[in-house]
């Protein structure tokens, strides 16, 4: 290990009590790979999080599902090891590698012991750089994906989500299932998988977080060994989505005792100056565990559901505000009507000062609870980098929440919440609900 180019920027979790002296350093490897590191030498292992921006949204539209299948195949054989030999090797090292795919990124979460770190990193490297994509493994994993797709086709939650996404995002990759369809996945060839690998796993879209028993001067060379051979560039990132959500209902017939409803409207981007006001608003409206207005009105007062919630979904190329509820076929219309009323009430009357204070206390107090363990901290750091947040963000984040005022929240409630443009996709046999005219045919 020769010369290291180390850029050390220290930051502290100032929002935590002083004794939580967790420090993030930026490490740039000799080969130019940037990572954020938290040294945590007390337990002899490292959690490493890698994320490649773009994820399944980089699929060629005709090859939908290729990136999902490719990601599933990374652990199914690499270099001179076939699928079984690779699994035996990973087990023999007691290392764990998890490869995951989402609409905005492909992520690799690794965990390995200090005592065999080099061997573990070498094995992980082969899976990223030299995956075999053997035809027998491809066929086997394809069957697993098809099994999942067939299950989705009979799962009311998946049916509702797919219908909502198709309506809201249309031809954008967000509008279709990233796992593809039975038709597209059945048609995928080894060449398609190789192309998907080249589209996603490239250095120009890579973000790295590491937490654990490793020094910065060790991490740099490790990253070069692990990732240095990746190509510089991959497929171009998708354009922003053109989101269209019209108020009303889409009812999809499905046999069962309950109806599932997914509802949503336009949302707010994470870099919007009003994001934290919207975050507090949603906390009051539907995100709070047992305290939100939706939970109180639909479950606590009326007993219409086991769970109802709403959430902000600020993705890379579109932001929405969505929610979900399940209720008996006889009562789902009432649940939906209560949700609509709460949407209107918040939009027109706003929320109260006490609600804003309670939401702020929760949102600021819950933040430190997320930093529980090496893996979660590595994931949080990668998420911060992908959003372009500064390395000292953790220390300032709660101040941004505290700065939100009642007026901010109520102004955002008036601007953001559009009860007339709130659309419900209902899957089941809901009594008293039918598709709006605009959605028929």
Which residues make up the interface to other proteins (CB under 8 A)? 16-17, 19-20, 22, 40, 42-45, 47, 83-84, 87-88, 91-92, 94, 96, 111, 113, 140, 143-144, 146-148, 150-156, 255-258, 288-291, 296, 299-307, 326-328, 358, 361-362, 364-369, 371-375
Q: Smaller CB distance to other proteins: residue 92 or 273?
A: 92
Please, are residues 77 and 128 in contact by the beta-carbon 8 Å criterion? no
Q: Smaller CB distance to other proteins: residue 67 or 308?
A: 308
Query: Least distance to other proteins from the beta carbon of 260, Å?
Result: 8
CA separation for the pair 290, 307 (Å, rounded) = 9
Query: Least distance to other proteins from the beta carbon of 7, Å?
Result: 25
Q: Smaller CB distance to other proteins: residue 87 or 406?
A: 87
Query: Least distance to other proteins from the beta carbon of 28, Å?
Result: 26
Q: Smaller CB distance to other proteins: residue 113 or 389?
A: 113
CA separation for the pair 327, 263 (Å, rounded) = 14
Please, are residues 368 and 380 in contact by the beta-carbon 8 Å criterion? no
Q: Which two tokens stand for residue 237?
A: 């990132």
Query: Least distance to other proteins from the beta carbon of 366, Å?
Result: 5
Q: Which two tokens stand for residue 420?
A: 């007339």
Residue 275: count of CB within 10 angstroms of its CB: 19
**Residue position matching structure tokens 């309950």:** 258
CA separation for the pair 193, 66 (Å, rounded) = 6
Query: Least distance to other proteins from the beta carbon of 92, Å?
Result: 5
Query: Least distance to other proteins from the beta carbon of 17, Å?
Result: 5
3-state SS track over 92-111? HHCCEEEEEECCCEEEEEEE
Query: Least distance to other proteins from the beta carbon of 43, Å?
Result: 5
Query: Least distance to other proteins from the beta carbon of 179, Å?
Result: 14
The rounded radius of gyration (Å) of the Cα atoms in the chain is 23
- Apex CA 264: angle with CA 263 and CA 268, to 5°? 155
Using DSSP, state whether 11 is helix, strand or coil: strand
CA separation for the pair 195, 66 (Å, rounded) = 9
CA separation for the pair 19, 15 (Å, rounded) = 11
Q: Smaller CB distance to other proteins: residue 265 or 331?
A: 331
Please, are residues 318 and 240 in contact by the beta-carbon 8 Å criterion? yes
Instruction: Return all residues near 333 (Cβ < 8 A) that are at least 6 apart.
Output: 430, 431, 432, 433
CA separation for the pair 139, 88 (Å, rounded) = 21
Q: Where are the alpha helices (DSSP H) in 283-389?
A: 293-294, 332-349, 353-369, 374-386
Q: Which two tokens stand for residue 82?
A: 């076939």
Helices and strands, counts by H and E, the chain = 15, 14
Q: Smaller CB distance to other proteins: residue 348 or 354?
A: 354
Q: Smaller CB distance to other proteins: residue 47 or 245?
A: 47
Name the residue among 97, 38, 101 with its Cα closest to residue 69: 101
Query: Least distance to other proteins from the beta carbon of 244, Å?
Result: 30
Query: Least distance to other proteins from the beta carbon of 14, Å?
Result: 13
Q: Smaller CB distance to other proteins: residue 45 or 343?
A: 45
Q: Smaller CB distance to other proteins: residue 350 or 375?
A: 375
Query: Least distance to other proteins from the beta carbon of 63, Å?
Result: 21
Q: Smaller CB distance to other proteins: residue 272 or 334?
A: 334
Q: Smaller CB distance to other proteins: residue 371 or 393?
A: 371
If you write DSSP's letter for every residue of 12-54 in order, what string do you get?
E-TTS-TT---EEEEEE-TTS-EEEEEE-TTSSEEEEEEEEET
């Amino acid at each position: 290990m020769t010369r290291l180019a180390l850029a050390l920027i220290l930051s502290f979790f100032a929002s935590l009590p002083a004794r939580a002296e967790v420090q993030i350093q930026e490490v740039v490897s000799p080969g130019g790979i940037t990572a954020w590191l938290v040294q945590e030498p007390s337990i002899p292992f490292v959690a490493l999080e890698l994320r490649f921006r773009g994820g399944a949204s980089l699929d060629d539209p005709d090859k939908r599902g290729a990136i999902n299948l490719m990601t599933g195949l990374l652990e199914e054989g690499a270099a001179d090891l076939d699928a079984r030999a690779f699994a035996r090797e990973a087990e023999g090292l007691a290392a764990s590698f998890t490869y995951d795919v989402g609409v905005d990124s492909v992520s690799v979460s690794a965990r390995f012991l200090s005592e065999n770190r080099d061997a573990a990193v070498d094995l992980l490297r082969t899976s990223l750089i030299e995956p075999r994509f053997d035809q027998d493994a491809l066929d086997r994993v394809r069957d697993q994906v098809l099994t999942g797709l067939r299950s989705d086709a009979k799962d009311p939650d998946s049916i509702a989500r797919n219908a909502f996404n198709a309506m809201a995002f249309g031809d954008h990759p967000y509008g279709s299932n990233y796992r593809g369809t039975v038709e597209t996945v059945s048609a995928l060839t080894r060449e398609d998988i190789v192309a998907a690998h080249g589209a996603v796993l490239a250095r120009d879209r890579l973000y790295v977080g590491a937490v654990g028993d490793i020094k910065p001067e060790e991490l740099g060379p490790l990253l070069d060994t692990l990732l240095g051979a990746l190509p510089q560039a991959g497929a171009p990132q998708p354009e922003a989505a053109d989101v269209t959500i019209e108020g009303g209902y889409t009812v999809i017939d499905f046999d069962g005792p309950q109806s599932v409803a997914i509802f949503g409207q336009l949302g707010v981007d994470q870099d919007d100056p009003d994001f934290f006001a919207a975050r507090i608003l949603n906390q009051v409206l539907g995100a709070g565990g047992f305290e939100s207005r939706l939970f109180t009105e639909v479950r606590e007062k009326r007993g219409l559901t086991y769970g109802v919630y709403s959430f902000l979904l600020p993705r890379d190329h579109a932001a929405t505000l969505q929610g979900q509820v399940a209720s008996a076929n006889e009562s789902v219309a009432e649940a939906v009507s209560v949700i609509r009323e709460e949407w209107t009430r918040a939009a027109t009357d706003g929320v109260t000062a006490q609600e804003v204070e309670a939401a702020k206390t929760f949102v600021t107090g819950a933040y430190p609870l997320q930093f529980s363990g090496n893996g979660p901290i590595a994931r949080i750091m990668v998420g911060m980098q992908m959003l372009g947040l500064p390395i000292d963000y953790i220390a300032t984040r709660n101040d941004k929440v505290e700065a939100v005022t009642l007026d901010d929240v109520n102004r955002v409630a008036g601007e953001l919440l559009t009860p007339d443009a709130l659309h419900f996709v209902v899957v089941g046999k809901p009594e008293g609900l039918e598709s709006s005219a605009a959605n028929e045919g």
